[in-house]
Every structure is written in structure tokens, then in C-alpha cells.
Amino acid sequence: MHQPHQYGQVIDVWLSARRDLTTARTFFTRALATGAVPVEVTTDRAPAYPRALDELIPTRPARHRAVREQHDRSRPWSPQARLRPMRGLKTFRSARVLANGHAFVQNLRRGHYEIATDAPAQRRLLEAFDELVLAI
């Protein structure tokens, strides 16, 4: 059964100064190396992405959803909610750290890790961080 896109797992995050075919191939090669064969891939609208996906997954093309970047500033865990008080990101490294952290939190909230999976969805993130504190 196919899960709706909002419940999908974030497999990898990549920040790059360019969004050309070489960069797209590098990203998707790295993401596919995890062993995951995607049913659906959601990206922004860079024109190189569909071609790279067709090259790397020729036998079973994943459904590609090209969406406009959306920012939900009303949610406290959204990257945009954190950026306004900080007046933007100062370095490429901080953007990469923020994007990877956001992907991790999204996967925790959606129950993709074996941590706090027995918690109700509304409390999953809180309980997951309680468990992580004990593990660190």
C-alpha cells in the first residue's frame, strides 16, 4: 500500500551551489546507495532531476513530484520559523546542518525510526528526544 506523500521517509538531503545534471546524479546515486528504491521522489522544480532519475532508475521509474518550495512559518519546528530570529543562515555548513536536522526530526515525527514508535503521534517527538537524551 502506498503511503500519502506527507508520511514518506526522508532518505537523504543534499545542498549544493548548483542544480545541474552532474549534481543531481551525485545526489540520487548517494540516496539510492542506501538500498531504498523509491516509489515517489519529491524535489523542487530543477529541470535536471527528472533526467537523472530516468538514468538511475530506468526499469522502475519513480513518480517524481516537482513542488514549489513551501515554508510553514507557523510551525515551531519549521526551518523558516527558526531562520527569522537568526536573520538567515550565515554559512553553507549551517544550512546543511539545519536541513539534515529538519529531515531527522521529520522522520522521527513520522515514526520511521525504532524510537518512540509506541507513543501517540502527538507525543512521538517529545518521547523520542527523551529516549535520545538517555542514549547520549
Which tops the pLDDT comparison, 37 or 115?
115
Average pLDDT for residues 62-91, to the nearest whole number?
63
CA distance 77 to 101: 10
Residues 52 and 45 sit within 8 Å (Cβ to Cβ): no
Give the start-to-end residue ranges of the domains of the chain: 1-70, 73-136
The answer to whether the pTM exceeds 0.85 is no
Q: What contacts 9, CB < 8 A, 6 or more positions away?
A: 36, 107, 110, 112
In the predicted structure, residue 73 carries a pLDDT above the cut 60? no
What confidence score (pLDDT) does residue 21 get? 93
Give the relative orientation of helices 124-135 and 92-109 as an angle to the nearest 10 degrees. 110
CA distance 114 to 126: 14
